[in-house]
Amino acid sequence: MLLLISPDSVEEAQDCAEAAEHLDIVDVKKPDEGSLGANFPWVIRAIRDVVPVGKPVSATVGDVPYKPGTVAQAALGAVVSGATYIKVGLYGCTTPEQAIEVMRGVVRAVKDHRPDALVVASGYADAHRIGCVNPLALPDIARRSGADAAMLDTAVKDGTGLFDHVTPEGCAHFVRLAHEARLLAALAGSVKVGDIGPLTRMGTDIVGVRGAVCEGGDRNAGRIRPHLVAAFRAEMRRHALEHAAATAATS
């Protein structure tokens, strides 16, 4: 399972760089513009310059409306600025058909510029609160649009987390659907240390966190700290070893 950490500034990205051995992807977003709020192109470039060359940078293009052309241009801006994972929050899409149209435009815009970039179709575990596309439709949307990964996050950051809106069993089904479609499965949404076990057992490919590695667990007021990133990674390793041992014992 890969660890994706989301700094909200160049300064926090420097903290991530200090903890580079403990993380896999540095994710650029702007939390005050939403769950998947897009940051400025120059911030993406600056963070790309700060992060070690071997660590990929991902960037969100926003909690986007159903405006395929607008979103495609935003995605192109993110990849031109140095991101290799491009995440699209399908906030304004109410049907799978709308989401597929948006994502097809993104895939073409990104892949025409950089074929090896990875496009992530992102939905929301709490979709029922904002009226967007069903979260379990995301793997099929990603597959039909040519994206590389399907992701679930939470739209409303009110202290509730991923499993408060989609049960662990539902998330495991999401992961299975993604893998059956030959996609990466990414899960985020106020993920805590206590969630690592079930996320590991269900085969999640990428886990995204912010609050869990910030001072006081506060994604807004707290700052990412390298020692908290290291501690989170240590728990990931522990659960991975336990899961491997349990699997070997039953095979």
SS3 labels along the chain: CEEEECCCCHHHHHHHHHCHHHCCEEEECCHHHCCCCCCCHHHHHHHHHHCCCCCCEEEEEEECCCCHHHHHHHHHHHHHCCCCEEEEECCCCCCHHHHHHHHHHHHHHHHHHCCCCEEEEEEECCHHHHCCCCHHHHHHHHHHHCCCEEEEECCCCCCCCHHHHCCHHHHHHHHHHHHHCCCEEEECCCCCHHHHHHHHHCCCCEEEECHHHEHHHCCCCCCECHHHHHHHHHHHHHHHHHHHHHHHHHC
Q: Please list, in sequence order, all residues whose beta carbon lies within 8 angstroms of the beta carbon of residue 193, skipping any fewer than 6 positions away.
A: 212, 231, 232, 235
Residue 29 annotated in active site: yes
Q: Which of 55, 87, 111, 192 is catalytic?
A: 87
- 87 included as an active-site residue: yes
Q: What is the Cα–Cα distance from 231 to 246, expressed in whole angstroms?
A: 23
How far apart are alpha carbons 63 and 54 in whole angstroms? Answer: 28
By CB atoms closer than 10 A (0-12, 13-18, 19+), residue 37 is middle
Residues acting as catalytic residues: 29, 87
